[in-house]
Structure 1
Amino acid sequence: MTTESPTLEEIAAAGTRRQKDAERLKHSSEALKGLVLAALRDGEHRPTDVTKASGWTAAHVRKMARDAGIESDERYRERAERLRKTSDRPASSAEKSA
């Protein structure tokens, strides 16, 4: 079974398709980013639900939000600070023996 080498025209056509796909991806990503940021600003949906619906990671959505000037909810910051303080404290003797 022999396979023919691709022609330059086939390679050029594939390159054109790839470029069009990249442009479509860029436009759809920009549209999705706009929707995600609008939803985060509106506050109607929980950020975790917006993130899940977008298909992006939480870290990516957080970075986009911060870059757009959207800060985290004050309650979240307080909770994160409490958790940091709890994890920074040394373990008690009861916790060490467990």
Structure 2
Amino acid sequence: MTSTPPSLEEIAAAGNRRLRDADRLKKSGDELKELVLAALRDGAHRPTEVAKASGWTGAHVRKMARDNGIEPDERYRERAERLKKAQEPSDG
């Protein structure tokens, strides 16, 4: 069976679809980011719930939050510090 090579028009159309889809992906990503940041600022949902609902990792959501001036809740900060201290090797 012989296959015909794609035409330049087919290649151009695929290229245009890729650009259009990239633009739509960027727009939807920007919209999701704004929703996530708004939810974190509001505090109605736990950050882990927001991350899970968004489909992004917790680390990515935390980085976005810190980059946008949203600091962790003091309870989380205190818990993280306790866990860190508990994991430190003891002198002895």
So what's the TM-score if we normalise by structure 1?
0.90
Counterpart position of 1:90: 90
Matched residue, 1:80: 80
Pairing 1:1-98 to 2, within 5 Å after superposition: 1-90=1-90
Moved over 2 A (4+): 89-92
SS at match of 2:26: helix
Aligned length: 92
Taking the aligned partners of 2:28 and 2:20, their CA distance within structure 1 comes to: 12
The one-letter code matched in structure 2 to 1:26 is K
Please give the alpha-carbon distance, in whole angstroms, between the structure 1 residues aligned to 2:78 and 2:41: 20
- Alignment-mate amino acid for residue 19 of structure 1: L
Q: SS at 1:69's partner residue?
A: coil
Give the Cα–Cα distance (whole angstroms) in 2 for the partners of residues 45 and 81 of structure 1: 22
- 1:28-56 CA distances to partner (integer Å, 9 max, x unpaired)? 00000000000000000111111000001
What code does the residue aligned with 1:56 have?
Answer: W
- CA shift at 1:22, angstroms? 0.2
* In structure 1, C-alpha distance between the alignment counterparts of 2:91 and 2:54, rounded to whole Å: 39
CA drift of 1:90 comes to 2.7
Q: 1:91 to 1:52 in 2, by over 3 A?
A: farther
- 5+ unaligned residues in a row in structure 1: which ranges? 93-98
Structure 2: tracts of 5 or more residues without a match: none
